[in-house]
């Protein structure tokens, strides 16, 4: 069974329609809370998206090189970054892409990473070749940050066989400075499988440091080939050991130092799929949340002395409220109830539900997945990337998830469709959420795909 192609799908957010109009989704009402806990006025705007991919001139199709062996890396693409690479005030788009398997070669143009420049009129131009961002290796996550403080956003691309740091030259081109900078992702002589990364200034010295989230100890040469119901299938992560994450300290001269051991980051070995950063306890130092796949989550508290301690268990964010493990995937770490404290949301797979942890203050979190309405809404979904944004400008942040089954042949094996819709859950206030209808009013999908990152 061939994996359905991952196609770029663009949605323009339209909030100009009153909720009472014929074009608005029904059954969605905003009853948010203001910062002082008072009920906010019901939102006037419906959350509606329009697919504009055809007129955008974006023609990206992700190629994950599906093999008869069903190597696990095939399921993990692809990352997306939206950023203003040329400082013209318009957001551009970068996509990561796969490579041929088992060679992991990108020489075929169908495997190229892609950068699209925003023309300012709803269309985009492919500037990948000029920018020097075609890439090498099997690319996955991407993180954007100005690591050298020159005013131009740089790119870090995480992947299975190699990671890359691309310095923005400020003239529309990028230079691969991975080796010079010392951020190849190789740790103790081994290149772990990196899925995601994030820039943040953990020691508050004014320079962005880098956290790299690593997944499984996985080798294409020795990886087992799995079957289910007589069909080839991707193996579960249970049969593989996890790997340590990496923390790079920015030295301020274009180089980085691997401080994973001295910072204690490497002590916490999991199966990372998502990373999100926020100062959850208000001490002025950014902390790290890592969602792990079928392994307890990490909440890495920044001790303020360049070390971190995992406090997820005592904080109440390591497991679900019932003590269960889930297949943690994408994560975000933002304030959902306007109380000034960042909450944690992450996606998972079918049967898990997608956990929402409410920040109670004092270093404690409460699993409110059930009371929020997300347990019922997500129990029969699988999703990868996620983002927390206020889509309807009502002052309450909503949830976006990128849906898609893990198995490309899931209809044969588990009797469920492989292509799942992307979804938005509207914040109703009081940490309650409602799914925005897909199709006629919410996110309209005219192409079936299996998305991963956002």
Residues 172 and 369: their CA atoms lie apart, in Å, by: 44
Which residues does 350 contact at the CB level (< 8 Å), separation at least 6?
Answer: 379, 380, 381, 382, 405, 414, 416
- Cβ distance 245 to 265 under 8 Å? yes
Residues 313 and 319: their CA atoms lie apart, in Å, by: 7
Each residue's pLDDT, cut to its tens digit, for the chain (454 residues) gives 233 334 444 444 433 322 222 222 222 223 333 444 333 444 457 888 888 999 999 999 999 998 888 899 998 888 999 999 999 999 999 999 999 999 999 989 999 999 999 999 999 999 999 999 999 999 999 999 999 999 999 999 999 999 999 999 999 999 999 999 999 999 988 899 999 999 999 999 999 999 999 999 999 999 888 888 788 888 888 889 999 999 999 999 999 999 999 999 999 999 999 999 999 999 999 999 999 999 999 999 999 999 999 999 999 999 999 999 999 999 999 999 999 999 999 999 888 999 999 999 999 999 999 999 999 999 988 898 999 999 999 999 999 999 887 767 666 667 676 677 889 999 999 999 999 987 644 454 433 344 455 5
- Cβ distance 73 to 237 under 8 Å? no
**What tokens were used for 438?**
């897909």
List C-alpha distances in Å: 154 to 95, 212, 219: 14, 15, 30
- Cβ distance 116 to 125 under 8 Å? yes
Which residues does 423 contact at the CB level (< 8 Å), separation at least 6?
Answer: 381, 383, 400, 401, 403, 435, 436, 438, 442, 443
Q: Look at residue 17 in the predicted model and tell me its pLDDT.
A: 28
Q: Look at residue 413 in the predicted model and tell me its pLDDT.
A: 66
Q: Look at residue 12 in the predicted model and tell me its pLDDT.
A: 44
| Cα 364–Cα 141–Cα 291 angle in degrees, nearest 5 | 25
Can you tell me which residue has the tokens 């992700």?
62
Q: Look at residue 448 in the predicted model and tell me its pLDDT.
A: 38
Residues 185 and 422: their CA atoms lie apart, in Å, by: 31
- Cβ distance 30 to 428 under 8 Å? yes
Residue 410: CB atoms within 10 A of its CB come to 23
- Residue in 10, 7, 90 with CA at minimum distance from that of residue 50: 10
**What tokens were used for 317?**
């964010």
Q: Look at residue 217 in the predicted model and tell me its pLDDT.
A: 94
Residues 265 and 263: their CA atoms lie apart, in Å, by: 5
- Residue in 106, 78, 102 with CA at minimum distance from that of residue 5: 78
**What tokens were used for 34?**
């203001």
Q: Look at residue 227 in the predicted model and tell me its pLDDT.
A: 80
| Most distant CA atoms of the chain, gap in Å | 61
Which is it for the CA torsion 309, 193, 449, 127, positive or negative? positive
DSSP letter assigned to residue 33: B
Q: Look at residue 44 in the predicted model and tell me its pLDDT.
A: 54
- Cβ distance 399 to 428 under 8 Å? no
Residues 106 and 91: their CA atoms lie apart, in Å, by: 26
Q: In angstroms, how far is the first alpha carbon of the chain from the final one?
A: 25
**What tokens were used for 447?**
């192409």
């Amino acid at each position: 069974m061939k994996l359905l192609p991952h196609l770029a799908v663009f949605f323009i957010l339209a909030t100009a329609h009153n909720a009472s109009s014929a074009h608005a989704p029904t059954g969605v009402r905003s009853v948010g809370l203001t910062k002082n806990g008072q009920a906010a006025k019901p939102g006037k705007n419906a959350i509606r998206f329009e697919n504009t991919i055809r007129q955008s001139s974006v023609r990206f199709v992700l190629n994950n090189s599906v093999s008869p062996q069903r190597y696990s890396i095939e399921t993990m693409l692809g990352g997306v970054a939206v950023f203003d690479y040329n400082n013209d005030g318009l957001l551009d788009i970068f996509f990561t892409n796969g490579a041929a398997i088992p060679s992991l070669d990108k020489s075929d143009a169908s495997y190229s990473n892609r950068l699209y420049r925003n023309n300012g009129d709803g269309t985009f131009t492919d500037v990948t070749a000029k920018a020097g961002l075609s890439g090498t290796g099997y690319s996955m996550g991407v993180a954007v940050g100005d690591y050298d403080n020159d005013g131009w956003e740089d790119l870090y691309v995480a992947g299975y066989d190699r990671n890359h740091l691309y310095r923005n030259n400020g003239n529309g081109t990028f230079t691969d400075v991975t080796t010079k900078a010392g951020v190849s992702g190789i740790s103790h002589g081994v290149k772990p499988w990196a899925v995601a990364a994030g820039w943040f200034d953990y020691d508050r010295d004014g320079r962005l440091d880098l956290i790299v989230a690593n997944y499984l100890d996985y080798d294409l040469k020795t990886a087992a080939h799995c079957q289910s119901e007589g069909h080839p299938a991707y193996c579960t992560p249970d049969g593989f050991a996890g790997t340590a994450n990496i923390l790079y300290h920015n030295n301020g001269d274009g180089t980085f130092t691997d401080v994973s051991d001295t910072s204690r980051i490497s002590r916490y070995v999991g199966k990372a799929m998502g990373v999100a950063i926020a100062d959850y306890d208000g001490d002025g130092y950014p902390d790290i949340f890592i969602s792990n796949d079928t392994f307890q989550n990490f909440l890495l508290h920044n001790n303020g002395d360049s070390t971190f301690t995992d406090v997820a268990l005592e904080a109440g964010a390591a497991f679900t409220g019932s003590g269960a493990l889930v297949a943690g995937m994408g994560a975000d770490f933002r304030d959902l109830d306007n109380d000034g404290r960042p909450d944690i949301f992450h996606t998972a797979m079918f049967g898990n539900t997608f956990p929402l942890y409410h920040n109670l203050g004092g270093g404690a979190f409460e699993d409110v997945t059930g009371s929020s309405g997300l347990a019922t809404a997500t129990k029969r979904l699988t999703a990868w990337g996620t983002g927390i944004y206020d889509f309807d400008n009502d002052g309450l942040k909503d949830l976006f998830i990128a849906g898609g089954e893990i198995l490309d042949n899931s209809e044969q094996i588990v009797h469920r469709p492989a292509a799942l819709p992307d979804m938005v859950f509207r914040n109703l206030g009081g940490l309650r959420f409602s799914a925005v209808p897909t199709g006629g009013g919410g996110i309209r999908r005219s192409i079936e795909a299996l998305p991963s990152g956002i």
